[in-house]
Amino acid sequence: HTPSPVISAVSAKSYACQRRTPLKHHNLFLTEPLELLAENAELGENEGRSVAFRRAAAILKTLPLAVKRMEDLQGLPCLGDHSLRVVKEILEYGSSQEVESTRHSEQFQAMKALTGIFGVGVKTADRWFREGLRCPADVAKSEQRLNSSQQAGLLHHEDLSQHVSRAEADAIGQIVERAVQEVLPGAHITLIGGFRRGKETGHDVDFLITHPEEGKEEGLMPKVVQWLETQDLLLYQKTTRNSYLESKEGPARPPNNMDRFERCFSIFKLERRASGEAHSSAQATEGEPGGGEGRAPGPEPLPQRRPAGWKAVRVDLVVSPFSQFGFALLGWTGSKLFERELRRWAGREKNMSLSSHALYDNSKGCYLRASTEEEIFSHLGLDYIPPCDRNA
């Protein structure tokens, strides 16, 4: 048997963090169906199954050619029986019955629509589904008690269900830059998440904020948020403070969840030009520190109607101490699967614990310092993978 050209170009590296996964690849016709099954498993709270489908899709994204025959897959890791069955069916018939019936099922569509509302997780969506709700409009009409994020999510659902463009992300970046410089000169902001990986669009915009003088960043988020609010740039925000320092877990086990930084889930009110192109409304007040008079507020639009002058955009802000910046940058650039694979590699192959705060070597019993992503990959014994190739 001659080795397949597809395979011979890819060594059997089974962790996504060992491989380069570009944004554009040759097997979307296979990865889209597999990721749909992964999403369906997530909506059914079957994490193991979901990760298995995501890993299968991820290996196919690294291949330099489109898969033509099952033989092309020989020797590839990460492809379980179920994924192989789906791939085989697509290669033979052009589509998979399981995928298409899932895609069109009422439960999948409703769960996707309901969890698509900002503030609504799988558990809430599942309860609503069992109570007969199927879409955001059903929720709006119902008597459901909504928390403040869900209220904001429903109110701005139309805007939030649109993709955020790169131009809009850049405009938000200018606003965040301006806000941060107003309250803490010398602070740095970095675009993270999907846009840092080179995506053209996103469901939100993510930023990491730090200051080269350790400690200066403490308490920064409330000040940034307050400045944004006085400028009428926020439609919603929920800030959570840093809980890393107070955590009781002790040095032996750095926390694996990433919710311990000072962070803010928000919805920005992004002005758009008549052309439809986003621009920063902070520019309009340039040279008038503290003053918002340069902006004409105009009448409040009716709820649920597309407002003419602005678009609601989801923005995540994270503040990290300078000493943890490299870990925060690596941990918040994604993709989610790439992050998961990095932590799995660290734990299973290196006996280390990686979080967005630190890397701990369990064998040596010490933390491994790093100020750049390159150093962290090196501590982990991995070749450096640039952000654009972390699209697993």
Instruction: Assess 193 for contact with ligand CTP (CB under 6 A).
Output: yes
Active-site option among 138, 170, 316, 389:
316
Nearest-angstrom CA–CA distance, 101 and 96: 9
The question of whether 232 is a catalytic residue gets the answer: no
- Residue 316 a catalytic site member: yes
Between the CA of residue 374 and those of 55, 211, 218, 325, 370, what are the distances in Å? 24, 20, 26, 12, 8
For the bound state, the minimum distance from the C-beta of residue 187 to ligand CTP, rounded and expressed in Å, comes to 20
With respect to ligand CTP, which residue has the nearer C-beta, 256 or 283?
256
Q: Which of residues 329-358 bind ligand CTP (CB under 6 A)?
A: 332-336, 339
Residue 271 binding ligand CTP, by CB under 6 A: no
Own/partner pairs, 371-375, CB within 8 angstroms, 24+ separation: 371/323, 371/325, 371/326, 372/326, 373/326, 373/329, 373/330, 375/326
Q: Is residue 119 a contact point for ligand CTP (CB under 6 A)?
A: no
- Binding residues for ligand CTP, total number by CB under 6 A: 16
Least Å distance, CB 392 to ligand CTP, is 11
Q: Could you say whether residue 204 binds ligand CTP (CB under 6 A)?
A: yes
Residue 103 or 203 having the CB closest to Mn ion: 203
Instruction: Check binding of 126 to ligand CTP (CB under 6 A).
Output: no
Stretch binding ligand CTP (CB under 6 A), from 180-188, 202-210, 220-228, 286-294: 202-210
**Is position 206 an interface residue for Mn ion (rule: CB under 5 A)?**
yes
- What are all long-range contacts of 111-118, with beta carbons under 8 Å and residues at least 24 apart? 111/43, 112/39, 112/43, 114/139, 115/43, 116/157, 116/161, 117/150, 117/153, 117/154, 117/157, 118/149, 118/150, 118/152, 118/153, 118/156, 118/157, 118/160, 118/267, 118/314
* Least Cβ distance, residue 163 to ligand CTP (angstroms): 8
What phi and psi values does residue 176 have, to the nearest 5 degrees?
-65, -45
Would you say 66 or 258 has its CB closer to ligand CTP? Answer: 258
β-pairing, 310-319 with 205-210? parallel
The site partner of 119 among Mn ion, ligand CTP, none (C-beta below 5 to 8 Å per kind) is: none
Per CB under 6 A, 326 contacts ligand CTP: no
CB-based contact 15:345 (threshold 8 Å): yes
For 296, residues 6+ apart whose C-beta sits below 8 A from its C-beta are none
Distance CA 313, CA 169 (A): 9
For residue 204, indicate whether it is catalytic. yes
Q: Which of 146, 136, 141, 6 is nearest to 79 (CA)?
A: 6
**Residue number with the smallest Cβ distance to ligand CTP:** 193
The reply on whether position 316 binds Mn ion by CB under 5 A is: yes
Tell whether residue 389 is a contact of Mn ion (CB under 5 A). Answer: no
Active site residues: 204, 206, 316
Q: What is the binding site for ligand CTP (CB under 6 A)? A: 193-194, 199, 202-204, 206, 258-259, 316, 332-336, 339
Q: What is the binding site for Mn ion (CB under 5 A)? A: 193-194, 202-204, 206, 316
